[in-house]
Amino acid sequence: MDFGRSDHWRLPVPIKILIAGGFGAGKTTMVGAVSETRTVRTEEMLTHAGVTVDDLTGVETKPTTTVAMDFGRITIRGDYTLYLFGTPGQERFFFVWDELALGALGAVVLADTRRLADCFPAIDYFEKRGQPFVVALNCFDGARPFTIGEVRQALGLDPGVPIVRCDARRRESGRDVLVTLVEHAMRMGASPVGSMS
């Protein structure tokens, strides 16, 4: 049998993607919504010890936080298998980001427009590393619907950085964001081949 001639036998290209953003932006939710497999989560209950460290304004009812990473997997169009790594959102866990970012094709920076400044550290991180990223505006109930232009100006983003709206709870919405990131990274010259190494 000639395995080289049939698309049926071609293995999907593995691609590592980070899902980043501020605390409570929806990273764990997005990874869980799009993953084809049961997600790995490292969530712990928030405690009183973190009250002086964590800003819960706007997410007062959030009971847990990611302390290491979330992990999931999704296949896009049969050609690519995306391995999703959700980063912790609090600054005290940022040391984990360097390990998670190794070999990543790029990142989705989830933004909550109610707490837009919370995504600045993630944007700064990927800009400094020169890694492709897109900003996904997670549409929370009751959030003011800022225009894409207003968000781009507020975040000081280069015109080439895609900004998209999404609902992190919906699989199709998250998948569309991931496709946008992969296409953007490839336009920037990043190769998905070997991105997991």
For the chain, what are the domain ranges?
3-187
| Element of type H or E holding 72 | strand 64-76
**Which runs of consecutive H residues, i.e. helices, occur in the chain?**
27-34, 95-101, 120-129, 148-155, 171-187
CA 121 remoteness from chain centre: 13
Fold of 3-187: Rossmann fold (3.40.50)
If you count DSSP H runs as helices and E runs as strands, how many of each does the chain have, helices first?
5, 7
Q: Give pLDDT tens digits along the chain (197 positions).
A: 344 445 566 778 899 999 999 888 899 999 999 999 777 665 555 455 454 555 555 555 544 555 456 889 998 878 889 999 998 866 666 677 888 889 999 999 999 988 899 999 999 999 999 999 999 999 877 677 789 999 999 999 999 999 999 999 999 999 999 999 999 999 988 766 555 54
